[in-house]
């Protein structure tokens, strides 16, 4: 059905207002205006309407969708209840007869056209019935009769409203109250509808952005798989050459042997990464690292990063209940954290603070894990703060031994964390020595290992 909110819920809210208003109007008509109405059947109709509302609310709370036919049926019940009440209160001469306009309006707004036209037929039938069959309202008595005569003289409306008998004041009062109720209901419903439409537009915009991002990620994944396949042979050749250099020239020169060892470790790391790209496709998260305690998992990620950047200085701290919750995360989460650590280290290097300690802290509770990475870089400028995380936008520049970034690391990290229900924030640090704070909030519900 149209809209993102259950239409039947709106009908129930409006019916609460309807039941309360009907009961108050009936009470005022009998107790204050002294109109001799047949109260018993009218109160019974109002009570039955309230019972239907309560039973429907109970059914919705137990779950299950509401069909278009069910919404139409409830609107028809409202028309029937209004018709019975008007039958005992003057029929079509009652000023509240214009309330028959509300059910077709609601049907047109919430249901397909065929239901709107059907509701128009139902209300027209009820209105036509009340023209010929009704209990007429008795003439006003006492103070109401005097008020009626005063209004007739003041407005000159005796001839114009002769069709209503001598109840001109009662008719005017009823028209005013009917207008108040109609305006309130229409304003309430239309504002709720407008809010629902705006919310739907925001959801559609977010869905379009998600589709565009997923297309970019799919394109990158395709390119990454092709690159991984093509890099296999060159890396294998490099490994063989490095091994031969170690055998022929590394025995007598300690410094050369250390450099060759580092080079071999980096090549092995590249081969391992390519193997993970090719092997992890289609595997579930339980197949990647298995179930690990959260603190052990984070330490595993940090150890892996230190293998990639052996000269980096890192300080890690944990805070949370022990034993830490068990999680089963796929490879993409570890890669996302590695990307954030790389960005922080690169920012410090670019600021000439590569020897400063990179601070990694994590805290957790039963519901979420919060991670902060503090770097010693130059922080983020205004434009970078606005555009950071966009695909192919980077603040890294080529210079010296450093190569510029491709602008996809933080983009992929954002996508991974959003898929897991988390988010990443980048803030400038106010305390010396400055730099940036990368803050990750990650719900644990999707990561907790199944026992």
Q: Are 404 and 333 in contact (CB under 8 A)?
A: no
315-326 burial code (b ≥16 CB/10 A, e <16): eeeeebeeebbb
- Copy the structure tokens of residue 196: 């629902």
- Give just the sign of the alpha carbon dihedral 151, 152, 155, 159: positive
Give the pairing type, strands 292-293 and 326-327: antiparallel
SS3 244: helix
Per-residue model confidence (pLDDT) at position 160: 47
Per-residue model confidence (pLDDT) at position 32: 78
Report the C-alpha gap between 341 and 374 in whole angstroms: 9
| Closest residue by Cα to residue 5 from 167, 170, 191 | 191
Each residue's pLDDT tens digit in the chain (451 positions)?
444 467 888 899 889 988 998 999 899 888 877 788 889 999 999 999 999 999 999 988 887 778 899 999 999 999 999 999 999 988 888 888 888 988 998 898 888 999 999 999 999 999 999 989 988 877 666 666 666 666 666 665 544 444 444 556 666 667 777 777 778 777 877 787 788 888 888 888 888 887 777 777 676 666 666 676 677 778 778 888 888 787 777 666 777 878 888 888 888 878 777 776 666 554 444 444 567 888 899 999 999 888 878 888 888 999 988 888 888 887 778 888 888 888 888 888 776 666 678 889 999 988 899 999 988 877 776 666 665 555 555 555 555 444 444 557 777 788 888 888 888 888 887 776 677 888 899 998 878 765 5
- Copy the structure tokens of residue 145: 């009769």
| Closest residue by Cα to residue 121 from 141, 136, 100 | 100
Q: Are 78 and 18 in contact (CB under 8 A)?
A: yes
9 burial level (CB within 10 Å; 0-12, 13-18, 19+): middle
C-alpha distance from residue 172 to each of 35, 93, 374 (Å): 15, 12, 73
What is the Cα gyration radius of the chain? 37
Per-residue model confidence (pLDDT) at position 299: 92
Per-residue model confidence (pLDDT) at position 450: 59
- Copy the structure tokens of residue 110: 């919430």
SS3 185: helix
Phi-psi region of 175 (alpha: psi -120 to 50; beta: other; left: phi over 0): alpha
Report the C-alpha gap between 42 and 88 in whole angstroms: 7
For 374-400, the pLDDT digits (tens) are 888 777 766 666 655 555 555 555 554
Report the C-alpha gap between 131 and 379 in whole angstroms: 78
Per-residue model confidence (pLDDT) at position 162: 46
Q: Are 243 and 260 in contact (CB under 8 A)?
A: no
26: Cβ contacts below 8 Å, ≥ 6 apart: 37, 39, 42, 43, 46, 85
Q: Are 71 and 6 in contact (CB under 8 A)?
A: no
Token pair 């002769």 is at which residue?
162
Report the C-alpha gap between 230 and 150 in whole angstroms: 97
């Amino acid at each position: 059905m149209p809209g993102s909110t259950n239409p039947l819920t709106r009908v129930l809210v409006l019916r609460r207002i309807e039941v309360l208003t009907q009961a108050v109007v009936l009470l005022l008509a009998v107790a204050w205006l002294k109109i001799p109405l047949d109260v018993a059947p009218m109160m019974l109709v109002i009570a039955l309407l309230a019972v239907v509302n309560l039973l429907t609310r109970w059914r919705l709370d137990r779950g299950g969708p509401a069909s278009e036919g069910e919404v139409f049926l409830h609107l028809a019940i409202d028309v029937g209840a209004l018709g019975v009440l008007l039958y005992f209160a003057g029929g079509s001469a009652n000023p509240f007869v214009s309330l028959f306009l509300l059910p077709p309006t609601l049907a047109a707004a919430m249901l397909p056209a065929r239901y709107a036209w059907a509701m128009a037929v139902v209300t027209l039938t009820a209105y036509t019935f009340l023209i010929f069959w009704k209990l007429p309202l008795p003439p006003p008595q006492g103070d109401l009769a005097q008020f009626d005569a005063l209004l007739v003289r003041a407005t000159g409306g005796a001839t114009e409203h002769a069709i209503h008998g001598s109840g001109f004041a009662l008719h005017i009062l009823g028209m005013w109250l009917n207008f108040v109720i109609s305006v309130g209901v229409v304003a309430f419903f239309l504002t709720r509808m407008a809010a629902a439409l705006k919310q739907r537009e925001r959801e559609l915009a977010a869905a379009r952005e998600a589709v565009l991002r997923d297309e970019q990620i799919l394109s990158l994944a395709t390119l990454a798989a092709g690159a991984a396949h093509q890099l296999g042979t060159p890396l294998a050749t490099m490994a063989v050459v490095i091994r031969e250099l170690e055998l022929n020239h590394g025995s007598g020169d300690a410094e050369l042997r250390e450099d060759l060892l580092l080079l071999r470790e980096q090549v092995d790391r590249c081969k391992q990464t390519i193997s993970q790209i090719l092997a992890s496709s289609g595997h579930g998260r339980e197949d990647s690292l298995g179930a690990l305690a959260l603190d052990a998992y984070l330490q595993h990620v940090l150890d892996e990063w230190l293998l990639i950047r052996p000269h980096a200085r890192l300080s890690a701290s944990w805070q949370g209940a022990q034993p830490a919750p068990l999680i089963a995360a796929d490879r993409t989460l570890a890669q996302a954290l590695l990307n954030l650590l790389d960005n922080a280290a690169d920012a410090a290097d670019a600021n000439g603070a590569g020897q400063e300690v990179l601070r990694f802290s994590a805290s957790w509770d039963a519901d979420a894990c919060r991670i902060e990475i503090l770097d010693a870089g130059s922080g983020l400028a205004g434009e970078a703060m606005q555009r950071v995380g966009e695909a192919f936008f980077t603040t890294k520049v080529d210079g010296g031994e450093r190569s510029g970034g491709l602008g996809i690391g933080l983009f992929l990290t954002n996508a991974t964390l959003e898929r897991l229900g988390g988010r990443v924030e980048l803030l400038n640090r106010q305390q010396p020595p400055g730099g940036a704070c990368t803050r990750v909030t990650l719900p644990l519900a999707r990561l907790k290992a199944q026992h």
